[in-house]
Amino acid sequence: MKVSSSKGTFFLIMVFSLVAGTFFGELLGEFIPVLARGFEISLFDRGTGSWLINFNFIKIDLGMIVKLNLGSFVFIILSFILFYKK
């Protein structure tokens, strides 16, 4: 394990890997359909995917949906290998 690597660098690499993996999974999903198969993780309300705060003069809509596919997992595994490579 690399001693000089920080937790922030590791977090940025993981986020970039998830974004890139999802992008390439969707892109290559036309040719290799198994790469595009995935699922969504939704925080807050299951129906709309958001949480509405209404203060009568302002409405705040909070929520987050994470879409993962097989490409995301492939990129995460590759990033672990590259990050922890000696």
Q: How many CB atoms lie within 10 A of CB 52?
A: 12
Q: List the beta bridge partners of residue 62.
A: 51
- Write down the domain spans for the chain: 7-83
Tell me the average pLDDT across 77-84.
86
Read off the pLDDT of residues 37-57 as tens digits, 9 standing for 90 and up.
Answer: 888 777 765 666 677 777 888
Distance CA 11, CA 15 (A): 6
Name the residue with higher pLDDT: 41 or 31. Answer: 31
What is the per-residue pLDDT across 3-29, written as a single tens digit (0 to 9) for each?
Answer: 456 788 888 888 898 889 888 888 888
Mean pLDDT, residues 69-80: 89
Model confidence, pTM: 0.66
Q: Would you say how long the chain is, in residues? A: 86
Contacts 24+ apart (CB under 8 A), 63-67: 65/40, 65/41, 66/18, 66/40, 66/41, 66/42, 67/22, 67/38, 67/39, 67/40, 67/41
